[in-house]
Structure 1
Amino acid sequence: MELSSREVPLYGQVMVYAKFDENVYLPKDAEFYFIYNGSHQRHVTFAQRIGDNILQSNIPGHGFEETVSVSTCLYSEGYSPVTMGCCSIMYMDNVACRLSRCLVSQVGAFTCSSHQTLLDQFGLKVKELHALDEDLVLAMAHLELPLGWNVLGNSSEEVIAHKESLLHIAMRWDLVKFSQFLLCLPGGRQALALSNEEGDMPLDLALKLGHCRLVEIINNFQGSHSTDLSRVQINEHALLRFVHSSETVTLTLNHTAEHLLETDIKLFRKYFLDRALLHKTLNRKEVKMEKQLPVPSSVTATEAEPEDLVSGKSPPEREDVKCLTDPVVQPTENEDLDFGKTKRKISSEQEGFFFFNKGKLVENNWKKNSK
């Protein structure tokens, strides 16, 4: 098995393709999973068959900078998983990760000169920051924010006059996506009314600096509190992540639980295929129950409440489930996927289900010969 990506940022969200030898045939009606095994975490994701010997999936985020083994498993209900191939991926700590951690740790201590101080600290120019806009969102969304953290830098979300906020920094840097993301976080809406030491609110800065897109975003802001990532703590060992823009579900497990791979896959399938539970835990009123996520043709979804496969007991009421929700961005049919110098059309008529990713795709040489 050969992977299209060998190094990825800690926050993941990169489309990856796995190519097998020509003598390896991937059954059309089978279920495939990518299993990422690190030193402390295991991630389980679905993999989509897009050719006789090619699978695709979205690389999940990871908690540590390390080399992780990646295995592809074929699963049929009633049988043990069959490993089709193994490879490795290196999770890297990049500038977006470091900058996001710095911003989170220093929130509440910014001044009107902090935007330039940070640029000097990281050796960046404003133009270079624009290329990091989306990556900075992904990096901060991947972080486990401290309890009570908010954009204002105080636990009460009470607006304090004359204080430079993280939203002011984003305005000065002209980061459109990052600004939209901050508005969705705790304290984001209140930060719009916060003046800094110079008496400027974020909108004032956007107007003064001529950042027209940011002015438009603030003027049209409706007070929504939602981001692109939802997290659901299933139990003390398992965390379910759902990225709405790519419709990617990942089950992350603590290795100290020492679960069997088959048990982990069953746990993933139960929660992924139970639409009622998925929508309930994501706490999304706007998601219609009749609109379901795509699933493998060999699987039938169940509306029954799934049992906890770790303890063997039925799950308790979900009032203690912690979620961070966001708007669903639906992929368009026949969307192009970049295969290096060639493109492959993905249609809803193909078997199974598809994951879409709006970010950058890594070019790889073997795809040129994969027809």
Structure 2
Amino acid sequence: MRTLLRRALITTVAAATVAVGVVGTAGAGQNKPNDVNYGPVATLSPAVGRDIDGRLVAFARGADRSLWYDTQAVPGVGWNGWRNIGTGQLGGKPVVERDADGHLVVFVRGTDNALWWRTQTDAGTFGPWVRIGGGITDDPAAGRNADGSLSVLVRGTAGSLWTWKQDGPGTPTGAWTDLGGGIIGSPAIVAQSDGRLVAFVRGGGDAVYVKTQAEASGAWEPDYTYLGGAINTPPVAQRGVDGLVHLFVRGLDNALYTLPQLEPSGTYGSYTYLGGSWTADQFATSRQADGRISVFGRGSNTAFWTVVETEAGSGSFGTPSSLGGRFSGGPAVGVNVDGRLQVFGVGTDRQIWSAAQREPDGAYAGFTITD
């Protein structure tokens, strides 16, 4: 009955650009029960992807260590309700990527410290868990190769960076490769303008190192390149409209810094201070509809904050701006079919909250519970 009533309500507002609920902050007005009969009672940071039909899909690890997901009722509007599709096997947070056919694929570290995945079907549901194997210690990072196959980067039990790559687009099999090094925490992955994947890691002395594919969809270069710096959280990266990859890190002073390429698929410049006081949670990045890069993170006051490129392709960023809320982990960001960014996080009440831009490139509405 609740679902039918909600769908009837959604139908009346589907023509609108966005349905804005009661404006509030995460943790404020806790009017939802904290039990798994309602939703995921989430732990760790969520993940979000966009379905082939344009609907956002949010993923979270519940307190029961199962995978939960919720799909927008129609692109950009409302939610269908959370579904539990796990059996208590998640050892870390989910990571989502799209395969060559547009299906969402979820990767997780299992409680057995192996890599697992689950793939969306043509019907929009998800197939069974498939154990990829390996021995990993942190959350994976996933990216799509130029040929459409998926690659996953993980930290192995001995501290090396490993990659698992599909044998081909959409295939259920793949192979592991040891990329060496001694890394700390989860890696980051991004595609350069020439199609080659790039891996960023935190290495010895808390410095940043980068390793790049020797050719698109192929093997990786044998050596790491030292990028310096001193960081204390996993790095993230985003390619801008200018074709340059921009690295974002949290320094030992807890401020945000960025390091851009000097030319597309080329070498890197120097770090620029972007300020703020951030927690140890990993940042999230995306591009706005107008091409500007946006970075999201949890501030020391537990609210979400954002830093936005002043002009698309400029590589210059404004000062941190608060989005409000009270969160227990880092953010995830999705792009609605109309270009509006939507930020998701686990509130201090352990529910998933989100806030979407009121219009593309615009300000954000208040956080509401994602149900």
Please report the TM-score for the alignment, with normalisation by the length of structure 1. 0.30
Q: Kindly indicate which of the two structures has a greater share of residues assigned to strand.
A: 2
Structure scoring higher RCO (CA < 8 A, sep ≥ 6) equals 1
Larger gyration radius, structure 1 or structure 2: 1
Which structure is higher in helix share?
A: 1
- TM-score of the pair, normalised by structure 2: 0.30
